[in-house]
Structure 1
């Protein structure tokens, strides 16, 4: 009961801070007579969302699907690569510099290539979301797999299981907290990647809404899309955080 009360208080504080921020924004815009084309008041943004909520929901759904596709691919490939990197020093020395080099390249610079290779559908957006998110999964998974306590490693070796069993039953469960931490970062990065892909070439998605509204100087629509994007990001992060609590019940997570 105390835990539920604490969680409720945390949510209330978070909601209160958002409401106060929006009220200050509204008051500042009205008192300073800021033009809507420069900074619309939150009331205008909420009115825009209320009038066109079906339209925004459709575009948000497209962005959500591409984000989840890129994130799922990053999670599977990232954990798989981390296991190979930890399991083989030779593989690590051969591949890790390539991974770091690819991560250092600005994804906006190579996004047009994915459009050329994969077309203008959802595939290039998923690919860009994957590229931006996968490095966070790899780094945290490698850290977790290498941070297994020595006594646990010794116990696993004494049991004399196969290398795969050792990874799946010893290293992977111990590394799960670090892996899930990386996934919390990766889900936000995947959302960024999906938006980058929509900026480059798309006829759907919140990135497309922002880009098209910018072209017509419709600032209210830009803010409305950003508002939906923020809600989407909070929901996705909260979903992974919930999965983390369920998967690692022995940890004390605030």
Structure 2
């Protein structure tokens, strides 16, 4: 009897171990958190809009507490949000016109830097000699403080759009160059081997394999460069602008209208956010497979 009992226990242990191994082999399922459950109930569209608005609301409440309740900073340094909103309403015609000028400079400069940055990145990725020859120069140009070039650009290019667009270009082209060159030189090995096995030409491999595989990395550089383009436009308007939000900030600061200057800063931030998320939307439409293959968020 004792021998049969021990045999039965051994078999039961083996069955238990087999069951545990089968459970371990099954894909793990995570219990949804309350936030995820709420997001699923609201839907992806509501979460995509509601969560950013919630973040803005939290920032506004913190701003109000710092300036209006606890008075931690001087109003000249950071006016209360209600004063900034009132200044925005009172000067809306001037500020909205300036927003249009700054947005145009930002978008045009960003597009120019995108075209040039992608082409330079292609050249660096195509030839190691070209990369070794010009990479130090690109790093040197990127390391120069751009605000120090402002007066020189005014002297050489005059007032108006030319120095502003040049400033935008200088600020945001380097991330695009770097991301393009990195994406084109890090093609997955299995894709490159597949192209070789199909006897694809250089152009076919580039068009069908290398460039599509590099697009996620290129969009990373574009998303880094977009806020820099707005910064470049404002710096250019500080130095050589005759319109735009940067020019208006200088004008309102000169007469002590600090709330209106902060209203212009809020508009710059809003413009940058909208342009950035427009680029994110473009990435999702152009690369629908990226979210499905790289992240579960």
Same fold (TM over 0.5): yes
Which has the larger displacement, 226-235 or 209-218? 209-218
| Bigger relative CO (Cα 8 Å, ≥ 6 apart) | 1
State the shift of 1:147 in Å: 1.4
Larger mean CA deviation between 48-57 and 221-230 belongs to 48-57
2:139 & 2:65 partners in 1: Cα distance? Answer: 46
**If the length of structure 2 is used for normalisation, what is the TM-score?**
0.79
Paired residue total: 254
8 Å contact kept, 2:146–2:167: yes
Moved >6 Å (runs of 4+)? none
The RMSD of aligned alpha carbons is: 2.1
**Residue correspondence of structure 1 range 15-94 to structure 2 within 5 A:** 15-32=53-70, 36-94=75-133
1:128-156: per-residue Cα shift (whole Å, max 9, x none)? 10111010001111111111111211222
Structure 2 spans left out of the alignment, 5+ residues: 1-38
> Using the alignment, how far apart are the partners of 2:220 and 2:212 within structure 1?
14
Q: How many angstroms does 1:63 deviate by?
A: 0.6
Match of 1:143 in 2: 182
- Render the CA deviation track for 1:10-59: whole Å, top value 9, x for unaligned: 43232123223323433443334666434321111111111222211110
Question: In structure 2, how many angstroms separate the alpha carbons of the residues matched to 1:174 and 1:130?
Answer: 26
1:116-131 equivalence runs, <5 A: 116-131=155-170
| Distance in 2, Cα, partners of 1:91 & 1:212 | 46
1:1-254 map, 5 Å = 2=40, 5-32=43-70, 36-252=75-291, 254=297
Q: Structure 1 unaligned segments of length 5 or more: list them.
A: none
Which structure is larger by alpha-carbon Rg, 1 or 2? 2
For 2:244 and 2:290, locate their aligned partners in 1 and report how far apart those are by CA, in whole Å.
37
SS in 2 for 1:251: helix
